[in-house]
Amino acid sequence: MRDRIRTATLARLRPLDVRKSTASWHGVRVFAPRRRMWNTRSIDAVLLLVAFSFSLSRAFVPPGSKCYALDGNYRLHDFTQWIGHQFEHSSNDGDFVLRFCKDVQLRSNKGYVNYGRFVPLLSTSENGNFVQHYNQGDLQGCENNGFDLSGRNSEVSVSCGRCDGTSCTDSFGCICNVTSTQSSCSSKIVAAVKCSEGGPRVIKGFTVGFSPRGREIVENGITQWGYDKFHSDYSFSTEQRAVSLYFTAPTALSRFVKKPSFTVKPSKGLTVQLAGSAAEGESPTTESPTVLSVDWQCDKPTGGPYVVTVSVPADGFNPVVFNLGKECEHKQKSQDGGSSGWATFGVICLVVILVLGCCCCGGFCYNTRVEHKHGFDALPGVTTLARYLDSASGQARSDGYRPAEDASSTAPSRPTRTSDSSKYGTV
């Protein structure tokens, strides 16, 4: 396959040689470039550029709003351009108006009643349809029906195509049916809209944040605003040498997440290293998030920030790409890790122990052969220790301590009996 691509490239591309030959034109010598064939290195460079462009084409552009949906094949459908588009449906109570990705209203002669506002986090897909939830509507009249905390709500089931047996006059779609339940405090709406063929495949439930189960950078497999491209307000300062990112994914899709990679622009001046369980390729789950530690050091200050682009590939899905900005106002010195101090302390302790052991062995041999000491007395320092103990015990005796053998000399004398006191009956 590679030989065929080279053959096609050689047939179509004929670059000019930088060497020039001279030719005459009306007596004036001019330079005419000579042609040459492409070499192997040039073709490899072109193939590498084509492969890199193909990899970039797989990285999708995130939607411009929260108005999107994922179908059963995890393909993205972006409805940003239809935000606020109105669909109307007439009923006996009035006209139900669905303002797409905004709210649901019931309009009548009595006024407007809000049936909920769009909640992006609760949007799901069921049986090929997109299900949107609208909560926190008007509470009046529904206080005693179990809606005192949530207010009126609506559930909108959006299908791609058209309503069964009904043609929509609007080019975008229409409302097929509206069902009101529980004393007009909740409604279910079935709508049909014109959908696209489907965009890239997204890892549903995949998140990246600055805390376990955080979603500041990536939410539901989609890069959030501020990290989709460089933004100065979302960059990191020079003093921050590292940042920890936490990956989570549903258990059913966690095995598809692979080891992340990165690129730096400009390519020189910033040293970046990835560490942690995520960098080793471990699969993240909701119960056990993986950690990606991004360690960076400014080697060369620049007028603008560096942009670190992190790409998280996934088998069968489009890669998740996000950008981290790094300010470099001055050059940073290399900083040793926290374990290096303990390693130095351990080496010093080992050297001290070895020196003391050698001195002890040498002193023991000297006392045995020269001083003719034996046993415990031959150990170095034992004589000094014994003298210190004797001096300490002598000081204790001078302070009033007496040994047991001297107790007879210090005991008080008892009076002796005379022969006269031994007689009975005497007073």
Token digits for 270? 């910033």
Q: Which of 326, 349, 380 is the last residue of a domain?
A: 326
- Residue at 419 is within a domain: no
Highest mean pLDDT among 125-139, 196-210, 276-290, 357-371: 276-290
Q: What is the DSSP-derived secondary structure letter of residue 249?
A: -
Is the same domain home to 76 and 54?
no
- Residue at 340 is within a domain: no
CA angle 8-316-225, nearest 5°? 100
- Residue at 161 is within a domain: yes
Mean pLDDT of 372-397: 76
What is the CB neighbour count within 10 angstroms for residue 162? 15
Is the same domain home to 211 and 188?
no
What pLDDT does residue 340 have?
58
C-alpha 427: how far from chain center: 106
Distance CA 384, CA 308 (A): 66
Is the same domain home to 14 and 72?
no
Q: What is the DSSP string of 35-101?
A: E----HHHHHHHHHHHHHHHHHHHSPPPPSSS-EEE-TT-BEEE-GGGTT-EEEEE-SS-EEEEETT
Please report, for the domain that includes residue 121, its CATH number. Answer: 2.70.130.10
Is the same domain home to 256 and 235?
yes
Residue range 30-64, pLDDT digits in tens: 333 344 444 444 444 434 334 434 444 445 677 87
What pLDDT does residue 87 have?
92
Please report, for the domain that includes residue 320, its CATH number. Answer: 2.60.40
Distance CA 361, CA 338 (A): 36
What pLDDT does residue 14 have?
42
- Which residues, 6+ apart, have CB-to-CB distance to 224 below 8 Å? 62, 215, 216, 217, 218
Is the same domain home to 215 and 307?
yes
What pLDDT does residue 396 have?
52
Q: Which of 193, 223, 244 is the last residue of a domain?
A: 193
pLDDT above 80 for 402: no
Q: In terms of pLDDT, which residue wins out, 62 or 151?
A: 151
What pLDDT does residue 45 have?
40
- Beta-bridge partner residues of 170: none
- Residue at 368 is within a domain: no
Is the same domain home to 152 and 226?
no
Residues 182 and 145: beta-carbon distance below 8 Å: yes
Number of domains in the chain: 3
Residues 93 and 84: beta-carbon distance below 8 Å: no
> For the sheet containing 111-126, what is the strand order?
86-90, 95-99, 103-108, 111-126, 129-135, 153-160, 186-193, 173-181
Domain containing residue 40 = 2-58
Token digits for 15? 């670059």
Is the same domain home to 76 and 49?
no
Residue range 86-136, pLDDT digits in tens: 999 988 878 999 999 999 999 988 889 999 999 987 777 766 678 999 999
Q: In terms of pLDDT, which residue wins out, 5 or 147?
A: 147
- Residue at 258 is within a domain: yes
Distance CA 263, CA 273 (A): 11
C-alpha 338: how far from chain center: 22
Smallest Cα–Cα separation from 314: which of 198, 213, 205?
205
Residues 131 and 124: beta-carbon distance below 8 Å: yes
Q: What is the DSSP-derived secondary structure letter of residue 377?
A: G
What pLDDT does residue 21 have?
39
pTM metric for this prediction: 0.62
pLDDT above 70 for 399: no
Distance CA 205, CA 218 (A): 10
Is 135 exposed, middle or buried (CB count within 10 Å of its CB: 0-12, 13-18, 19+)? middle
pLDDT above 90 for 249: yes
- Residue at 176 is within a domain: yes
- Residue at 404 is within a domain: no
Token digits for 69? 């949906």
- Residue at 106 is within a domain: yes
Q: Which of 58, 85, 103 is the last residue of a domain?
A: 58
Is the same domain home to 127 and 217?
no
Question: pLDDT tier at 359 (50, 70, 90 boundaries)?
Answer: confident
Is the same domain home to 166 and 281?
no
Is the same domain home to 184 and 284?
no
Residue range 288-347, pLDDT digits in tens: 999 999 999 999 888 889 999 999 999 999 999 999 999 998 888 876 555 556 788 888
Can you list the positions of beta strands (E) in 198-259?
207-209, 218-219, 222-223, 242-248
Is the same domain home to 249 and 289?
yes
Is the same domain home to 72 and 187?
yes
